[in-house]
Structure 1
Amino acid sequence: MAYFSIVLSQIIGFVIYILIGIAAVRTHVLTSRSLGVFSQFITKVTMPILLFVMTLNGATRQQFISALPVLAVSVLLYFLLYLLCRLLARLFGLKGNENHVYRACAMFGNIGFMGIPIIAAIFPKQGMLYIALFTVVDQLLLWTLGVNLTAPVDKENAMSPASRLRKMVNPATIAIVLAVIGLFIGLHLPEPINAALTKAGLLTPPMALIYLGGLFCYIDLPQSLRKQEIYVTVAVQICIFPLVF
């Protein structure tokens, strides 16, 4: 029951952030252009900071090595999800950009915006170790495979292998690599710097949900809700796949 109360309070907070985003757009405080800036700030500044601090502070080198099976399980999970999403996209007859975006959305979740705050609230000590390990796999795949899936198909096919590799080098992947290196060499940030970076990184979940709320104002929700693949994906990804896995 205590876990339920913690999750419920977190979800209420998420809804409030989304409503703030909607209100900000409706009152013209945020526009489609400023939402784009919002998104850039989250993905290129606060999210990399959050990933760096969380991974660096989430475990020691010994803990990281002893919990390496979690990395293997995470890789297996995403490998099976990748195959499942390809199958679902084929069953729904999705082509081109729609196929790629569907697979990206079905394969990856809002781990950084929703998953991390909930797990951190329920398991404040041991949970951070597993979050750090899982995030290494999740975010590396999201910012490499995920970025490729969300690129326009015509442009993606025209890109050279070198260009694709350059796309995989971004603030998020750099932050994770630096954090893992720092973890293995025993890097400890001075407390004032660590505290400041932690607070900056924790801006990510509320800012991302405010952005999401604002984005709802520019989406044709009735048309989106008529897409049957959304409901099948929710049932498979949130209910059936976790139980089977």
Structure 2
Amino acid sequence: MSISGILIYQIAVIFIIIIIGVICYKTNLIDDATNSKLSNILLTLVNPIVIFVSYQRDFSYDLLEGLLISLLLSIITHIVGIIISYTLIRRKRRKIVTIDGSTTKSYVENENVEVERLQSIYSNLGFMGIPLVNSIFGSEGVFYVTASITIFNIFIWTHGVILMSGAENLKFKDIIEKLISPTIFAIIIGLLFFIFQIRVPDVVYEALDYIADLNTPFAMLIAGVTIGKTNIIKLFTKNLRTYYIAFIRLIIIPFVLLLLYIWLPINEMVKIVAIIMASSPTAASGALFAIKFNKNSVYAAEIFTVSTLFCILTIPLIVKIAELLA
């Protein structure tokens, strides 16, 4: 089966878990407090263990080279995303008004420009990227994902903070504190264990592997609960601009990066992982940033919901195009 075919199957599985998450929220089986605790468990325990386990493998220069290439591709991914979002999402929006059959065009201030740019640039690596890559390539794929997670954290806690709050509020101490997270800690420790070939005992590895297996169901249940908070029917008809932002996040940015990456003479797995990372829906942390910096968090959550639902179609499409062009 082709990679795009495997993706379609795995996304169908993931979508079913998301629906279960929606049902759990609608039936009060998982409330906001429970979802918050599940998110904390995922981000501070499960994700770091998934990453650490991916580094428990025999050292090879090919793997190390692939990791370094993944770092470079992730930097390019974020820079391209920033350029495209700033080009297509402007501070002034065109507004068309029809009065008595007469149509006039004017430009109004886009009060949500920061939210829209953040949501189009930053993708959902932990919640969507890791489960998808893990389902296709296993722990070796996750090994390369760690590069994307590292660069994501650096960019979102520098550029993301500048975008949402202004450079005057950017404090170096705060950035360092945010970068020292369980995920980054797991990457550093895991990388050292990989380079120096330090292996945990089999019984410890198996226990960690069991916890790592919780990543996909936890992440998708959390996504389902987040989607369940919105009125999906009203969402799809109320604000059509969410489609535009989702289109940038799911189609334009991944397609441009696809055209850049597909011709590179590099490891095929590294290439596909980078494309999947670039094709993931908007980051769940976008809504959290909107709350933190007093922006439109409801709108941010709506963009997250739309992009998460539509990525079921767009990720396999982007990967299929990559396969056809390869």
Change (3 A) 1:69 1:117: same
Change (3 A) 1:184 1:243: same
Structure with a larger share of its residues in strand: 2
Which amino acid in structure 2 is aligned with residue 232 of structure 1? I
> Is 2:149 aligned against 1:139?
yes
Which amino acid in structure 2 is aligned with residue 37 of structure 1? K
> Is 2:230 aligned against 1:231?
no
Structure with a larger share of its residues in helix: 1
Check conservation: 2:85, 2:248, Cα contact below 8 A: no
Deviations 1:74-130 (A, max 9, x none): 33333323332333333776867x444434432333333333444444445xxx445
Q: Give the gaps of 5 or more residues in structure 2.
A: 94-108, 262-326
Taking the TM superposition and a 5 Å limit, the aligned residue runs for 1:121-132 are 121-124=135-138, 128-132=139-143
> Is 2:211 aligned against 1:194?
no
> Is 2:201 aligned against 1:168?
no
Deviations 1:4-51 (A, max 9, x none): 543232112111110111111111111122211221111111111111
Check conservation: 1:136, 1:176, Cα contact below 8 A: yes
Residue 159 (structure 1) shift: 4.7
**Whole-angstrom CA distance in 1 between matches of 2:167 and 2:219:** 27
Which amino acid in structure 1 is aligned with residue 62 of structure 2? Q
Residue of structure 2 equivalent to 1:57:
56
Residue of structure 1 equivalent to 2:270:
none
The alignment-based identity, stated in percent, is 19
Check conservation: 1:81, 1:107, Cα contact below 8 A: yes
Which amino acid in structure 1 is aligned with residue 154 of structure 2? T
Change (3 A) 1:130 1:118: closer
Q: 3-state SS of the aligned residue for 2:230?
A: coil
**Whole-angstrom CA distance in 2 between matches of 1:50 and 1:92:** 43
Which amino acid in structure 2 is aligned with residue 113 of structure 1? F
Residue 190 (structure 1) shift: 0.8
* Higher Rg: 2
- TM-score by length of structure 2 reads 0.63
Residue of structure 1 equivalent to 2:123:
109
Residue 143 (structure 1) shift: 2.5
**Whole-angstrom CA distance in 2 between matches of 1:16 and 1:75:** 33
Mean CA deviation greater in 1-10 or 25-34: 1-10
Residue of structure 1 equivalent to 2:46:
46
